[in-house]
Structure 1
Amino acid sequence: MEPFFYFGMMSLLSVLVSCDPVPDGVVHMECHERYFMIAVDRSFAGDEARFEAVGKPCMILKQGNTKDRTGVYAITKSYAASCGYSIAVVPSSSCIELRASYFSCHTANQDDQVFTFSFNLLARCDGAEVVYALNKTCLPLLQWSPREVTCEVNYMEVSVRSEITCAAGTRKDDWNTLTTAHASATSDWQVMFQNDVEQIAPMSLSDARERGYVFELTDGRLVFRAPYGQPHAFISMVNGIPVEVVHATLFSRQSWFVIMVDLLTTCSIHEGTFEDGHVVFETPEALYPGPDATRLFVGLNSELLEPSVFTDREDIVIKNNTVQIRIPFNMDGGHRKSVASGDLYEFFTFHLHMEQLFDDEEETRLRLHRMLVTPLLLHPLFTQNQTVVEEHMFTVYLGDIPEDVELLSFQLNGHEILWPLANTSSYTIVNVVQPNHQHGYMLKVPFDDPAVSQEFCAFHSVKYSLGINYTLRVLPENELCYHSVSVSALTDVSPPVLDAACSETGITFRVDHRPLDFLWFFSVGSEELTSELAAQRGYRMTNDSHALQVVVPLFTQGFQYEGITLKGFLGTFEILVKERQTSAVQRSITKTCPFTSSEVIACSMDGRMTVLADLSLITPSGATPSSSNLLDVFCCPVEADSTRALFSFPLNSCSSKVKLYNGEVIYENEIFYYSKHASERVVVQCTYPLDGLHRLFSMHRFESDSPGSGRIIHSSQPTAAPLRATTVLQTRAPAPMRTSGDANAKLLASYGNVRYFRVLKSRKPHPDRRKGLFFQAVKRDFRHRG
């Protein structure tokens, strides 16, 4: 890539108009010891801006220059090289820079001490091309050396003192004839060029000007200037370094003696190399006669530094009569530019300014300007996964982005996202400024975002994966480059935990929704807790976007009861958390609460019925519930008060009745007062699923997979009338499973402690029995058999 380019000649596209003065801060002008510099902000002038020189006519080239208006000269590429201008747009810089030699054309020169520059800046303003006048006067402080050589980027220039001290008869005024020679082809002054092979025939000054050479005489100096690559120049190798040489001898025959001026310019044309992260420039240590270069100064961007500054850094090496300057590619003072070519690249440009002093009989001062450019270097972007799993969010930082590169868009697992983001986006991205002229972007994406992929792994863990493809653009060219990164996070997932709270009428369960709750489900016993199941059993369930709440009223199916006394009892309800894939129980949420009620019945898994019954309707006048009993008159209450009685007895005792119906085993007993006039009765029942019973009766134990459901039935029984239920209290267990008819035979074989069976076939369907077999097991002592 070319490090700079020169402005070509452009035709005026519109009438030049005046505009307001140049805004502050967009144009910067500086006077240096041997040149004048203008820097214009490209954002103001644009890349198509151009300069014109304004000033006195100059007898130089007749070709290549366009005089647009009186005293105004367009600075083209060829005109700049011949007239002492260099104009560069460095791609890595934000400025257009013009440098003008103090001896440049059209510069007002007073005694080689005061130099006045006048230029026009042509730029676009509101669609029209406008002219901004730029003027500056410079007064160099450094005294001129007898010979001064300038090696600019596009031309070579040498100036020598014009005072002659030689043989008698030589007059200083004879130099004034050189001024006439600028305009006359018949001037006695001639120039002869020499190279390393032959001596070229002399030519007149007018012929030399036609070939692009410039000769000018000031009040005290003779100036010679030549663009690089002239036909009379030659390349020579000095200590292995290429140098370009133009050797011109200016002479005039005056009467019987000849006046000759030797004008020699020698400049290193080493283009620079890139070695081990350094831009390396080389030049011979002694380009001009003399034992050594007495002093050496090096700087960047026209600022010369003392030799010790570079020497301490080991950036200047003088070895084998060669000066080697090594500049780290990221050294301050250079200009950086990004380039997009699939990946992101960069190159660095350095404006090297070097000065050497050679001391032989008279001092020679050599100044060199070079634009050094690195090759394209890959600029890796830095990505860091800063995700904190507990935040349940990806946090990815993309850094080391140069300031001339910005984010255009990005993709999340293939989903295109434009930047800036919409206000409704669930993720955020923030531009983070870094102190080293770079910046970065912090992207946050929640784990539960639809763009994030999820994979359920073993041991209750979930892997979240996110592929990010960034699209960046390089300014101002809008070239695109891309960067990709993949991040993942593994989380240990625990089953949800429900909060439970007691109330007077039941238990309330509540759980806040989490992103991964879909991995589990809730169940009551073996059945999944759904809205349908809740409606069927009388639970009150609400489920919104924030939480699930289930209110379980007392005495609904699934409650277990224990610790029943006249003062109260404990009710327990359990909700299971199961893994959805395997239905395995992962967690049990059990809540036990104290309750009070006038009636309650519990059917235990070990075959015991505990019942607290309200006997106020069947208690005869003057009697108390403590004198009540079951079918077996010897089965009396455990506790009693004025209205209630508490019974607790094994199911296969106290003359309990047993019946089978539809896969269920029903144990039934009655609470009553022994009176032939009694019209009220209290029936108590416990019902178990038949397939959940391991043994109906055994000598020592009763086994059931789950508690039974109980009922307390308050009913009236008039004489010669069927039993009529009036009030019923029911505690429900899980719904029974239907079994085959062979269960009846198995049942008969398992009655271990029953003396005999009475098998009745119901003639009329009892409201609580319907069709089926009714078994009555009566415990009777053999001594009473009649």
Structure 2
Amino acid sequence: MAFCFCFGVLFLLSLRTASTLDVPTGVLQMECRERYFMIAVGLSFAGDKPRFEAVDSTGVHAITEEYAAECGYTISLLPVLGHVELRASYFSCHTNDADDEVFTFNFNLIVTRGGKQATYALNKTCTLSLPWSPREVTCEVNYMEVSVRSEATCPYEENGDSAFKPVLYSDWKVMFQRAEDQFLPMNLSEARKLGYVFSLTDERLVFRTPYEQPHSFSTEVNGVPVEVVHAVLFSRQSWVVLVVDLLAACSMHNGSYDGGYMMWETSELLHSLVSPLNETEVSIGVNGKLVEKKVAEERGYTVEKINTTLQVSIPYKAEGGYRKSFVSRDLYEYYVFRLYLEQISVDEAEIAARLRFHRIIVTPLLPCHIFTENQTLLRERAFTIYLGGVPEDVMLVSIQLNGQEFTLPLTNMSTYNLTEVLHPNGTHGYTLTVLFDDPVVKLQFSRKALALQHILNVNYTLAVQPGNEPYYHQTAVTALTRVSPPAFDANCSESSIHFKLDHRPFDYFWEIAIGSDVLTSDLANRRGYIMSNDSQSLQLDVPLFTNGYKYQNVTLKGFSGTFEILVRVRETSEVQTSTVKTCLFNPPEFIMCSTDGRVTVVANLSLPIPSGGSPAETSLKDKSCRPKDAAGTRALFSFAVNDCGAIIMLGRDSVTYRNEIIFSSVRNAENLSSRNRVMLQCTYTVAGLHALFSAYKFESETVGVGRIVRSNRIIEGPTVEPTSASTGHTARSVTIRPRYQPSAKYIKVSSFLKNLSNKGLKETSQVNVFTVI
């Protein structure tokens, strides 16, 4: 039979509530809403598995998942919000209902923390804030509930004002209908065993059922999935048969996502038994609270009517929703809206029905775009990297810099620093600063750019809260800084040039060379350099007359000696720069044996010159070879090693050219005493000679070892001894007179000479010693 409903204007009354004292701090909310009571408990307080019990005069009743759907409770675990929530219908099983206006709730909250269980009593009294409509349907997450006004006027009464209030006697029965089918009637106790609950309050008849019961059915209304349960309640009372038609129909649309909007649909007419509607008013809200139309518009909530379908659209980032980060290889996010929709319909008889939906709609997984931005300024000589777009439920817990792990907070604030940046849209970011000079930064020399490349690979470890689910974000930044090759400081001393190089971290990109040879400890030892090299500096002392010097402006007063150190790119041996130092030297006596076979000598002749004699009167063995300059007791000679009556002495690994300074007034060589002789000799290693000559051309890789030999002392260049001297072989001399030599211009040392055995020295008169070209 049809009911006559009266439409009530929507209005709000102040809530009058009372609750017990000493509510635990972990209980975040205990609120009375228009048609239900809500408790929210923080998960940090409630632990993993909080439980609720309903308490009434009959005892304590555990609220399990099944029992909650039957008795009007909804328990939702909401990790996105960080709490667990209990919603209890005003008509829930164990609520103390006074005149359908005052409702008292008593619950036990049971939590387990640290292996210990604690029970907290929670109670609250709620006063109805909005009058009941003649017919109200609630589509909760886990059940459907319909209530109708129990006081009805029989239309066949003559005066129209006779009313009765049905009472649920034991002879009441219920018959479920599904489409064209009818199930056999059953009494209410049998229906309760199947999960159906019928109750009679002071003014309302209430029917509640979980979803997907055996007697419900699913259908589609204009493409909208709908679940329907149709119960017909009837009883014979005296000569009257009372029939109550109870119908609950709920949209089961799961929601969808399209173009940045979350969509949900229902229909104006969810079942054909509902009378055609004259008017429908829809209000929208979230989290169990409706919002005013203006607020809904500001947030972007819209309800569009397409034929008889109502389509709800909510921007996925709109206020009132909740977002959650999710890791599945990459980082994603999804948004959750706890949609609350109220639909007030007025039929042709102007009877109002109020339909409420509690629905959770969720977006699909959406990519979460965490990004890095290189904000490095070269003039600051530091990397500045911004990690942005980090959701509010994601925290940075550690970073790796070039593979080295750093947990937060960072401690070495002198060379690197990390600061958090908050943004009004709820996201946050981190700014990382690392100095170029920090040891963790990798260095690489760029040949093309002639610059130092600073490399920093950063691996951010972020954790989604709660649960600390890790997510890794990587980036790499580089910076080029111009660098100069290493430069030596150079100083002159009386008999050497001193070089010093202070080490820099990136100096290993270059190599130090003397001529074509890389400077090593072995090279320094062979050439007579004095070198020390530690973590702080490289020091090189180059004595006069060692290999590598160039001499100019040689006079009796002295000469300039120049030594050059080359700096080359290690990978290519390309010369980048050099340090050249020229010093003035004035030794009293010296001999130079050049690589081109030139001998330059300044000798002190105070002993061989007789009393009253002059250095200008001296000569070499060839008396035509006179001094270039002479003064006091010293004379300057410059001549080719093979000229001026030179004698060549061949050793196993060396060649020695020997000559003498003779006081020319002594005519007969037989009359020359050791006092009148000054022996000059230049020794070259055979391995370093490109050619051995007797006439015109000479070429050697290294300078020769010069000596000025007297009976009482030897004046020589470097301290490196000729091989022949070190091996104990005696050199046999052969005088080579240029006028008897063939017109050869280039004479090479043969392999036979370079591989002489230990049988001694061979004279140059043997034909197998020289090859004449």
Question: Do both proteins adopt the same fold according to a TM-score greater than 0.5, normalized to the shorter chain?
Answer: yes
Q: Deviations over 1:400-422 (max 9, x none)?
A: 67676789999999x99897899
For 2:543 and 2:123, the matched residues in 1 are separated by 95
For 1:500 and 1:667, the matched residues in 2 are separated by 39
Alpha-carbon contact 2:683-2:722 (below 8 Å) kept? no
Q: How does 1:704-743 map onto structure 2 within 5 Å?
A: 704-706=699-701, 708-709=703-704, 711-713=706-708, 715=710, 724-731=711-718
Note the C-alpha offset of 1:128.
1.9
Q: Deviations over 1:296-354 (max 9, x none)?
A: 22233334344566667485443132122344555554445566666666654432211
Query: Residues 479 and 126 from structure 1, CA distance in 2 versus in 1: closer, same or farther, beyond 3 angstroms?
Result: closer
The one-letter code matched in structure 1 to 2:290 is L
For 2:303 and 2:593, the matched residues in 1 are separated by 100
The equivalent residue for 1:44 is: 45
The equivalent residue for 2:346 is: 359
| Residue 300 of structure 1 pairs with residue 296 of structure 2 | no
Aligned residues: CA RMSD: 5.6
The equivalent residue for 1:670 is: 661
Q: How does 1:600-611 map onto structure 2 within 5 Å?
A: 600-605=590-595, 608-611=598-601
Query: Residues 143 and 555 from structure 1, CA distance in 2 versus in 1: closer, same or farther, beyond 3 angstroms?
Result: farther
Query: Residues 618 and 329 from structure 1, CA distance in 2 versus in 1: closer, same or farther, beyond 3 angstroms?
Result: farther
The one-letter code matched in structure 1 to 2:137 is V
Query: Residues 646 and 102 from structure 1, CA distance in 2 versus in 1: closer, same or farther, beyond 3 angstroms?
Result: farther
Alpha-carbon contact 2:410-2:417 (below 8 Å) kept? no
Q: How does 1:52-63 map onto structure 2 within 5 Å?
A: 52-57=53-58
Q: Deviations over 1:756-776 (max 9, x none)?
A: xxxxxxxxxxxxxx966599x
1:529 to 513, 519, 523: 519
Note the C-alpha offset of 1:594.
1.3
Alpha-carbon contact 1:92-1:348 (below 8 Å) kept? no
Query: Residues 416 and 497 from structure 1, CA distance in 2 versus in 1: closer, same or farther, beyond 3 angstroms?
Result: closer
For 1:298 and 1:140, the matched residues in 2 are separated by 20
For 1:531 and 1:310, the matched residues in 2 are separated by 83
Alpha-carbon contact 1:500-1:591 (below 8 Å) kept? no
Note the C-alpha offset of 1:726.
0.8
Alpha-carbon contact 1:286-1:293 (below 8 Å) kept? no
Q: Which runs of 5+ in 1 are unaligned?
A: 1-19, 58-69, 716-723, 755-769, 776-786
SS at match of 1:145: coil
Alpha-carbon contact 1:559-1:732 (below 8 Å) kept? no
For 1:444 and 1:516, the matched residues in 2 are separated by 21
For 1:449 and 1:523, the matched residues in 2 are separated by 28
The equivalent residue for 1:322 is: 309
SS at match of 1:44: helix
Percent identity for Structure 1 against Structure 2:
43
Q: How does 1:287-686 map onto structure 2 within 5 Å?
A: 287=270, 289=275, 291=277, 294-307=280-293, 313=300, 316-327=303-314, 333-337=320-324, 347-360=334-347, 361-375=350-364, 436=426, 497-504=486-493, 505-510=496-501, 512=503, 517=508, 522-525=512-515, 527-545=517-535, 547-565=537-555, 568-576=558-566, 586-587=575-576, 589-598=578-587, 599-605=589-595, 608-614=598-604, 646-648=636-638, 655=644, 657-662=646-651, 663-664=654-655, 666=657, 668-670=659-661, 679=675, 682-686=678-682
The equivalent residue for 2:669 is: none
Alpha-carbon contact 2:527-2:546 (below 8 Å) kept? yes
For 1:259 and 1:458, the matched residues in 2 are separated by 99
Alpha-carbon contact 1:696-1:702 (below 8 Å) kept? yes
Q: Normalized against structure 1, the TM-score is what?
A: 0.70
SS at match of 1:564: strand
For 1:749 and 1:217, the matched residues in 2 are separated by 147
Alpha-carbon contact 2:487-2:579 (below 8 Å) kept? no
Note the C-alpha offset of 1:283.
0.8
For 2:337 and 2:617, the matched residues in 1 are separated by 114
Note the C-alpha offset of 1:261.
4.5
The one-letter code matched in structure 2 to 1:245 is V
Alpha-carbon contact 1:682-1:712 (below 8 Å) kept? no
| Residue 94 of structure 1 pairs with residue 82 of structure 2 | yes
For 1:351 and 1:203, the matched residues in 2 are separated by 37
The one-letter code matched in structure 1 to 2:72 is G
Alpha-carbon contact 2:75-2:87 (below 8 Å) kept? yes
Q: How does 1:62-211 map onto structure 2 within 5 Å?
A: 70=59, 72-90=60-78, 92-166=80-154, 167=157, 174-175=164-165, 178=167, 181=168, 185-186=170-171, 189-200=172-183, 203-211=186-194
SS at match of 1:270: coil
Alpha-carbon contact 1:108-1:116 (below 8 Å) kept? yes
1:233 to 189, 202, 216: 216
The one-letter code matched in structure 1 to 2:288 is S
2:228 to 214, 230, 245: 245
Q: Deviations over 1:276-296 (max 9, x none)?
A: 565432111344545365332
For 1:382 and 1:750, the matched residues in 2 are separated by 89
Note the C-alpha offset of 1:574.
3.4
For 2:202 and 2:632, the matched residues in 1 are separated by 138
The one-letter code matched in structure 2 to 1:302 is G
Alpha-carbon contact 1:502-1:593 (below 8 Å) kept? no
Query: Residues 399 and 541 from structure 1, CA distance in 2 versus in 1: closer, same or farther, beyond 3 angstroms?
Result: farther
Query: Residues 486 and 275 from structure 1, CA distance in 2 versus in 1: closer, same or farther, beyond 3 angstroms?
Result: same
Query: Residues 615 and 93 from structure 1, CA distance in 2 versus in 1: closer, same or farther, beyond 3 angstroms?
Result: farther
For 1:640 and 1:26, the matched residues in 2 are separated by 113
Query: Residues 646 and 391 from structure 1, CA distance in 2 versus in 1: closer, same or farther, beyond 3 angstroms?
Result: farther
For 1:326 and 1:658, the matched residues in 2 are separated by 111
Q: Deviations over 1:662-715 (max 9, x none)?
A: 3535263527685789936554444456774668577xx866355633535262
Note the C-alpha offset of 1:243.
1.5
Q: Which runs of 5+ in 2 are unaligned?
A: 1-20, 667-671, 745-759, 766-773
Note the C-alpha offset of 1:266.
1.8
Query: Residues 576 and 735 from structure 1, CA distance in 2 versus in 1: closer, same or farther, beyond 3 angstroms?
Result: farther
Note the C-alpha offset of 1:79.
1.8
Query: Residues 587 and 684 from structure 1, CA distance in 2 versus in 1: closer, same or farther, beyond 3 angstroms?
Result: farther
Alpha-carbon contact 2:268-2:280 (below 8 Å) kept? no
For 2:24 and 2:591, the matched residues in 1 are separated by 96
Alpha-carbon contact 1:298-1:354 (below 8 Å) kept? yes
For 1:239 and 1:138, the matched residues in 2 are separated by 39
Alpha-carbon contact 2:443-2:452 (below 8 Å) kept? no
Deviates more, 1:110-119 or 1:34-43: 110-119
Note the C-alpha offset of 1:32.
2.4
Note the C-alpha offset of 1:479.
7.3
For 2:737 and 2:204, the matched residues in 1 are separated by 135
Note the C-alpha offset of 1:235.
2.6
